[in-house]
């Protein structure tokens, strides 16, 4: 049965996901660890399941991962995150590719007060890390998209509540990722999840889902297979629990690099996996008495019916973001307020960052967030703006941006003026200039390179070259500091994976250049490695790739389709000279990672992803 006392959903007024008992237990276990009553391995396994992840720094520094179920976050929650960032972190937070928010460089004894601040507004870190059911993602356009079959948010939230603190959720061989999509176009990369639900309508008009299972990237990229063409929504809990049962029973608990569900399916074979799943499903229906889900086809999300708050003045916004500056260590957000935004800039932003909502008179506005980083004061300002122009909430996207929904069309210019004053008025969302990146070697124990340094360099370079952005036509760039691919580079049009080479006995940061990745409504295509290029030459490589696509594409062919079609040797030939680096032609900068000042000394430590 579920580990949560309720499975009901409450729309914008959702019940809390937090539980103070989780935090009390964290305090008790930390005290036991410090007294030597539990081992370091036991403490590590425990704290990971409470969202506390060890960083690579030798001093007291940890990352706190906060779940944002379905990517929905209220104005009050933004305020709490800002308070935690100010008091215990670096005065900024980081949006991940799984609709979480991470706060870095927190001392272990500051975790408790940070968690309590978050719990006051209903936020939890429970099972945000570790071998558990991770944050369940959902389409950020759910409820307002003209392209959706129905709003998947209530179903995704119900499954979140069902599996949070579930008896299976923290006893798995490895992490387990779940996603929901309601639109015909895929906005959540469902095919790279362990379990995914794609909205469908049955022959009698009942709501349900196509079920995909066994997807993933990293060491063995695998597109999820179809487990059910259609299940009624009532069977959501049973299907999910049956999959978890099979994974728990047949998963690999010994080999850290081969214990995701995709490896289990490969070992068993698809037919055997389905057979075991059907047995587990029958148990869930019968002896297990796993409940069905009855939501009575939730009504469409209503328009905000309350008096909206007054928006802060742009002049006040500029003063606020200037007053609270983020601090290091590591790369910090660069906030460039624009007080007097032009009509030209607004029209560009509107073309790239705004789409019509299915509800007449409203639009969806994307806030482009470079590297997924928001300062604490930007969070507070976004909270204020969400109450003034949206519905008192925002949605986090898997490409590290934010969405304002329910923005009245006639107030869009005012919203843009306010966002620009906060340094958040960048256009070109979901273009080649909107680069995604994992945290990288700044703090991750597994990372080889400073992926955020490359992400910032590419984003800045491309925004200075609007001609390249226009030519790229739908290309997406993603950067990861290691093969695990938290930046999702395997499904990028142009992806970069951090690596190292030796030149003259010294280390040079480099990246595998990968092309042709992408996702569709039911499958993923994975990028192929075309070259290995020193980090500082990557902008030149990107320019060549975009120019090559523009010159060689067929009529109407997108960049993703082109790089899936073109042969790897042709791409490699285009970049061969950039690969070459000898001790004689290397410069001093070649031996320094991007955004760093000292000589590159890669250190890959034991990670905690599979602890």
pLDDT in tens, 403-415: 999 999 999 999 9
Mean pLDDT of 528-541: 98
477-486: average pLDDT: 96
CA distance 19 to 346: 43
- In this predicted model, what pLDDT tens digit does every residue of 155-206 receive, in sequence order? 999 999 999 999 999 999 999 999 999 999 999 999 999 999 999 999 999 9
| Cis previous bond, 538, omega within 30 | no
Identify the structural domains of the chain with CATH numbers, from first to last.
Answer: 18-70+77-125 (3.90.480.10), 314-325+336-421 (3.90.480.20), 436-591 (3.30.413.10)
- Mean pLDDT (the chain) is 95
Q: In the chain, pLDDT over 70 holds for what percent of residues?
A: 97
Position 386 scores a pLDDT of 98
Give the C-alpha distances (Å, rounded to integers) separating 297 from 7, 170, 205, 235, 293.
15, 31, 11, 14, 11
With contact defined as beta carbons under 8 Å apart, do 511 and 535 qualify? yes
Residue 522's pLDDT is: 78
Q: Which two tokens stand for residue 153?
A: 């948010």
Is beta strand 373-375 parallel, antiparallel or unpaired with respect to 362-367? unpaired
pLDDT, one tens digit per residue, over 237-268 is 999 999 999 999 999 999 877 899 999 999 99
Predicted local distance difference test score (pLDDT) of residue 248 = 98
- Mean pLDDT, residues 346-372: 98
- The pLDDT of 461-471, averaged and rounded, is 97
pLDDT of residue 610: 54
**pLDDT tens, position by position, 7-28:** 555 566 678 999 999 999 999 9
CB atoms within 10 A of CB 229: 10
pLDDT at 609 over 80: no
DSSP secondary structure letters along 221-283: -BPPEEEEEEEEGGGHHHHHHHHHHHHHHHS-SS-GGG-SHHHHHHHH-HHHHHHHHHHHHHH
Given pLDDT bands bounded at 50, 70 and 90, which one contains residue 348? Answer: very high
pLDDT of 582 above 60:
yes
Which of 499, 451, 445 has the alpha carbon at shortest distance from 478? 451
d(CA 400, CA 372): 5
- pLDDT over threshold 80, residue 611: no
Whether the pLDDT of residue 571 is over 80: the answer is: yes
Kindly state the tokens that stand for 229: 């063409």
Q: What is the pLDDT of residue 11?
A: 61
What pLDDT, on a 0 to 100 scale, did the predictor assign at position 297?
67
Q: Where are the beta strands (DSSP E) in 368-466?
A: 373-375, 393-396, 402-408, 436-437
pTM, 2 dp: 0.96
Whether pLDDT at 6 is above 90: no
At 2, is the pLDDT very low, low, confident or very high (cuts 50, 70, 90)? very low
265-314 pLDDT tens trace: 999 999 999 999 999 999 999 999 999 999 876 778 889 988 999 999 99
259 Cβ partners below 8 Å, 6+ apart? 173, 174, 251, 252, 253, 610
Mean pLDDT, to the nearest integer, of 311-334? 95
Q: Roughly what angle, to the nearest 10 degrees, separates helices 40-48 and 20-34?
A: 160
* Residue 314: per-residue pLDDT: 98
210 has which bridge partners?
198
Q: Average the pLDDT over 40-50 and give the result.
A: 97
Residue 607 has pLDDT above 90, yes or no: no
Integer CA distances (angstroms), 11 to 98, 345, 558, in order: 21, 35, 37
Q: What is the mean pLDDT of residues 77-98?
A: 98
**Banded pLDDT at 402 (limits 50, 70, 90):** very high
Give me the pLDDT at residue 15, please. 87
What integer pLDDT is reported at residue 4 of this predicted model? 38
């Amino acid at each position: 049965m579920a580990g949560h006392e309720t499975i009901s959903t409450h729309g914008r007024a959702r019940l809390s996901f937090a539980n103070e008992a989780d935090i009390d237990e964290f305090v008790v276990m930390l005290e036991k660890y410090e007294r030597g009553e539990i081992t370091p391995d036991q403490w590590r396994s425990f704290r990971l399941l409470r969202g506390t992840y060890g960083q690579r720094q030798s001093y007291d520094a940890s990352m706190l991962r906060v779940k944002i179920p379905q990517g929905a976050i209220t104005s009050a929650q933004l305020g709490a995150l800002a308070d935690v960032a100010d008091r215990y972190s670096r005065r900024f937070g980081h949006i991940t590719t799984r609709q979480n928010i991470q706060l870095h460089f927190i001392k272990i004894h500051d975790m408790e007060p940070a968690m309590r601040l978050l719990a006051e507004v209903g936020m939890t870190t429970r099972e945000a890390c570790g071998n558990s059911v991770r944050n369940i993602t959902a389409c950020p356009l759910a409820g307002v998209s003209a392209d959706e079959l129905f709003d998947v948010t209530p179903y995704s939230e119900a499954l979140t509540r069902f599996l949070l603190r579930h008896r299976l959720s923290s006893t798995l061989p490895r992490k387990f990722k779940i996603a929901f999509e309601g639109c015909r176009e895929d906005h959540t990369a469902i095919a790279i999840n362990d379990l995914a639900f794609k909205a469908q309508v049955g022959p009698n008009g009942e709501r349900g889902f196509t079920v995909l299972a066994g997807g993933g990237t990293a060491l063995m990229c695998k597109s999820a297979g179809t487990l059910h063409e259609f299940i009624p929504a009532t069977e959501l809990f049973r299907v999910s629990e049956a999959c978890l049962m099979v994974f728990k029973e047949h998963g690999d608990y010994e080999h850290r690099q081969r214990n995701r569900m995709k490896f289990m399916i490969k070992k068993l074979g698809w037919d055997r996996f389905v057979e075991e799943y059907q047995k587990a499903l029958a148990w869930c229906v019968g002896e297990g008495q796993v409940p069905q889900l009855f939501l009575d086809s939730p009504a469409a999300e209503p328009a905000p019916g309350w008096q909206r708050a007054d928006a802060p003045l742009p002049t006040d916004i500029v003063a606020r973001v200037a007053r609270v500056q983020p601090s290091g260590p590591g790369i910090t957000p660069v906030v460039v307020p624009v007080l007097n935004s032009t009509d030209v800039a607004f029209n560009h932003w509107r073309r790239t960052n705004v789409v019509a909502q299915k509800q007449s008179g409203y639009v969806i506005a994307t806030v482009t967030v470079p590297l997924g980083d928001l300062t604490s004061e930007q969070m507070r300002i976004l909270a204020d703006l969400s109450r003034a122009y949206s519905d008192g909430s925002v949605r986090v996207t898997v490409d590290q941006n934010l969405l304002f929904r329910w923005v009245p069309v006639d107030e869009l210019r005012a919203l843009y003026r306010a966002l620009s004053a906060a340094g958040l008025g960048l256009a070109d969302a979901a273009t080649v200039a909107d680069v995604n990146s994992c945290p990288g070697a700044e703090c991750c124990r597994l990372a080889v390179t400073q992926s955020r340094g490359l992400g910032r360099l590419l984003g800045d370079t491309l925004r200075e070259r609007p001609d390249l952005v226009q030519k790229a036509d739908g290309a997406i760039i993603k950067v990861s500091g290691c093969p695990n691919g938290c930046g999702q580079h395997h499904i990028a049009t142009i992806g970069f994976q951090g690596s190292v080479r030796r030149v003259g006995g010294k280390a040079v940061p480099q990246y595998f250049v990968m092309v042709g990745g992408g996702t569709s409504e039911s499958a993923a295509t994975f990028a192929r490695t075309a070259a290995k290029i020193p980090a500082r030459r990557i902008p030149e490589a990107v320019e060549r790739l975009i120019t090559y696509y523009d010159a060689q594409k067929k009529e109407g062919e997108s960049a993703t389709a082109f790089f899936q079609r073109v042969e790897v040797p042709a791409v490699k030939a285009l970049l061969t000279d950039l690969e070459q680096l000898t001790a004689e032609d290397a410069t001093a900068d070649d031996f320094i990672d991007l955004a760093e000042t000292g000589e590159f000394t890669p250190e890959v430590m034991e990670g905690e992803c599979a602890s």
